[in-house]
Amino acid sequence: MPAFSKSRCLGFVLPILVIAACTPSSGATSSDVRTSMGPQDQIALGRYLVISHDCGGCHGGEADPAAVGWLDGVRSPIQEFKIGPCAVQPGAQPCFTTRPKNLTPDNATGIGRFSERQIFNALRFGLRPEETPDVEITSTTRGQGNFPQTPHYLAVPMPWPAWRHMPDAELWAMAAYLKRGLKPVNHKVEDSEGPPDFWAGAYANNSFGAYPVPAYPTANER
């Protein structure tokens, strides 16, 4: 099956449009049935999704898999993010710096030591793979269904709150592409800084929206 037809999304212009146009996925459970496709088709789908979701816009290489630095993390302070009041008022506090990481499967500096399930959990639940055990997560409630009691979330502005609505198979395909479709690049990115709650305050009480989204059609839809 051609990779493109696997997507149930209607548009790919911007991530925000993707979530608006995607049908709800199957639920919070991340089943371990990662794909019904062959490995190469899965990687091809993942490649297309990584490009169309602009992973390279922050993690390097823009939309060009042939570019030097493709997905291997920020290489200049100018690519870092400043988070906090300092973004609009120099010197204001608190001020945090976050840095898009190396997404290539390098063991020392990239995602080589993380399983595809840990990458799936990062995309679906926003959980940092180096701070979340390699387990199937079946809940979005702290302390339930393997969801950590003290979750450590990916640093802002990683847009997982939008991308978590993608179907399981698409998130698994992105993980497959990163782990098995890329060559490892040894490039160390400094750790991001952030509040002591590791951004949990930003995502408390699902205040950034429900997952999964309400069934179609809602009152706004026809």
Partner 1 sequence: MAATLCLLPFGSVNKFSRSYCTRVSKPRSEPHPPPTRSALKNLSALTIKLPLVAVLAWPINLGPFVTADQPRNFRLAAARAPDTLSLRPILANQSSLPHTVEVTLTAAPARLSLVPGSVSDVYAYNGLIPGPTLDVREGDRVIVHFRNDLPEASTIHWHGIHLPANQDGSPLDPIAAGERHDYVFTIKPGTAGTYWYHPHLHQRTGYQIAKGLFGAIVVHAAHDPLPASLPDKVLILTDNRFNADGSVNFPDPHSVEGEIDEENGREGNVLFVNGQVMPKIIIRSGEVQRWRVINASAARVYRLAIPGQTLLHVGNDGGLFERPVEVKEIVLANAERVEILVRGTAPPGTRTTLEALPYDRYAPQTRPKDWNVARDLLSLQYSDEKALAPIALPVVLRHIPPLDTADATATRVMSMGQGFINGRLMDMSRVDVSTRLGATEIWEIENLVGMDHPFHLHGFRFQVLDRNGVPEPYRSWKDVVNVPKHETARFIVHYEDFPGKWMFHCHILDHEDHGMMGILEVN
The site for partner 1 (CB under 8 A) is made up of 14-16, 19, 54, 57-58, 62-63, 76-90, 94, 96-97, 107-109, 113-115, 118, 128-134, 149-150, 152, 156-157, 159, 161-162, 188, 191-198, 201-203, 207-209
User: Shortest Cβ distance from residue 57 to partner 1 (Å)?
Assistant: 4
User: Shortest Cβ distance from residue 117 to partner 1 (Å)?
Assistant: 9
Residue nearer to partner 1 on the CB measure, 152 or 179: 152
Residue nearer to partner 1 on the CB measure, 38 or 157: 157
- Give the Å distances, CA to CA, from 20 to 9, 99, 165, 216, 217: 9, 27, 9, 12, 13
- Give the Å distances, CA to CA, from 202 to 34, 159, 161, 221: 30, 12, 11, 28
Cα gap 75→56, rounded to integer Å: 12
Other residues' Cβ atoms within 10 Å of the Cβ of residue 94? 11
Contact yes or no for 49/65 (Cβ under 8 A): no
Residue nearer to partner 1 on the CB measure, 41 or 131: 131
User: Shortest Cβ distance from residue 41 to partner 1 (Å)?
Assistant: 26
Of 119, 78, 102, 105, nearest to 191 by C-alpha is: 102
Residue nearer to partner 1 on the CB measure, 37 or 153: 153
Residue nearer to partner 1 on the CB measure, 35 or 102: 102
User: Shortest Cβ distance from residue 158 to partner 1 (Å)?
Assistant: 9
Residue nearer to partner 1 on the CB measure, 84 or 167: 84
User: Shortest Cβ distance from residue 20 to partner 1 (Å)?
Assistant: 10
User: Shortest Cβ distance from residue 38 to partner 1 (Å)?
Assistant: 26
Q: Which residue is listed with tokens 């991340």?
A: 30
Of 71, 57, 70, nearest to 101 by C-alpha is: 71
Cα gap 12→28, rounded to integer Å: 23
